[in-house]
Amino acid sequence: MAVSDHDLISAWQQVLSLSRLEAGQIVTVLTSSTTHPQTLSTAMTAAALMGATVNRLDLPPVNAEKALSRDSLAYLGTTPLTGNRAAIAALQESDLVLDLMTLLFSPEQHEILATGTKILLAVEPPEVLVRMVPSEDDRRRVAQAARLLEGKREMHISSDAGTDLRCPLGEFPVIQEYGFVDQPGRWDHWPSGFVLTWPNERQTNGTLVIDRGDILLPMKCYAQEAIEVTVKDGFVTRIEGGLDAELLSDYMASFKDPEAYAMSHIGWGLQPRAQWSTLAMYDREATIGMDARAYEGNFLFSFGPNNEAGGSRTTACHIDIPLRRCTVALDGVPVVKEGKVLDGFVYGNSK
């Protein structure tokens, strides 16, 4: 259902307030050809109403000759900022960047964050943004999960479908995504609501079973049959199944990069307003699938880069796959059991 400008401006004002925007600060809205016009206009209006100095930096799209889809996460690394020192400087001089383009997994994003600039990514359709406006409760819940994950030595993921994966931990930080940027140099994504980390390099072993109904991203489709993925010493060594397995295998092979097969981030969803079923309602090009990534109780894993966590792997291939009905245990203690989060968190009026 369409969203009124009034409602989307109000949503932006809530997010900007949570992000501690102050009058007189500089906000730069980063856009490209795929930026939603209503998201852009309401973001600039909301920031101006809050007393910020607002700029727009519009850059041309790239990677069309390399990517296999129009999804902004279909080919990573090279962005319109690559080699564009003037644009980078403008963003570094900003207090807050509203990324309506997608800089994720780019070295330029790290350069900008290192200056203390905050970056908030927001590329989902307006109605998704309004449905999942973040709250302090979201931050508290994700922070609580992060405390459980910090310092643990192993994540074990299992399911009745056949998943049995062991991921040693400790080499990489724990990342919190709750939908706003309340600290200098922080990046986040509206909407979101999950906790994640990366397993130790070349130490993950076991089997991942993508069951019927689990979601493949960036394909943005529900698996119609089981896919069995074998992981040995941190890399995918086998993908077995029917047509869905062939599609996944062919897509990953198209990058011609061995690092595309490496285990990337792992974690679980904590957002009760995100829904597993939402992807079925949208055209594939209308969304990047944040409902799928964030819905409560999923086990979200990825193949590909680790540079977002300080690693050196920068492959252009990034696969996200949220699984249903998994049990996630940290050092033998379950935090998610058969798709149900065990934190006992109670939301207030902001749910």
Q: Which residues of the chain have pLDDT under 70?
A: 77, 349-351
CA torsion angle 157 337 335 138 (round to 10): 110
**104 is in which domain, residue-wise?**
5-131
For residue 187, tell me if it sits in a domain: yes
| Any domain includes 239 | yes
Asked if 119 and 226 sit in the same domain, the reply is no
User: Are 286 and 156 members of one domain?
Assistant: yes
SS3 assignment, position 79: coil
Could you tell me if 140 and 111 lie in one domain? no
- 350: in domain: no
What's the pLDDT at 349? 61
Residue 78 sits in a domain whose CATH number is 3.40.50.2300
Q: Which of 116, 131, 146 is the last residue of a domain?
A: 131
3-state secondary structure of 187: strand
237 and 337: one domain? yes
**Do residue 167 and residue 310 come from a single domain?**
yes
286 falls within a domain: yes
351, part of any domain: no
Residues 218 and 76 in one domain: no
pLDDT for residue 72: 77
Query: For position 350, what pLDDT does the model report?
Result: 52
Kindly state whether residues 89 and 212 are assigned to the same domain: no
Q: Is residue 83 part of a domain?
A: yes
* Number of domains making up the chain: 2
In this structure, the answer to whether residues 62 and 170 fall within a common structural domain is no
Q: Do 48 and 182 have their domain in common?
A: no
Asked if the structure places residue 70 within a domain, the reply is: yes
Q: Do 103 and 147 sit in the same domain of this protein?
A: no
Domain boundary pick from 105, 131, 157: 131
Domain boundary among 131, 161, 194: 131
- Residues 192, 140 share a domain: yes
Q: What is the pTM of this model?
A: 0.96
Query: What is the structure's pLDDT at 70?
Result: 81
Classify residue 195: in a domain, yes or no: yes
Query: In this structure, are 186 and 276 located in the same domain?
Result: yes
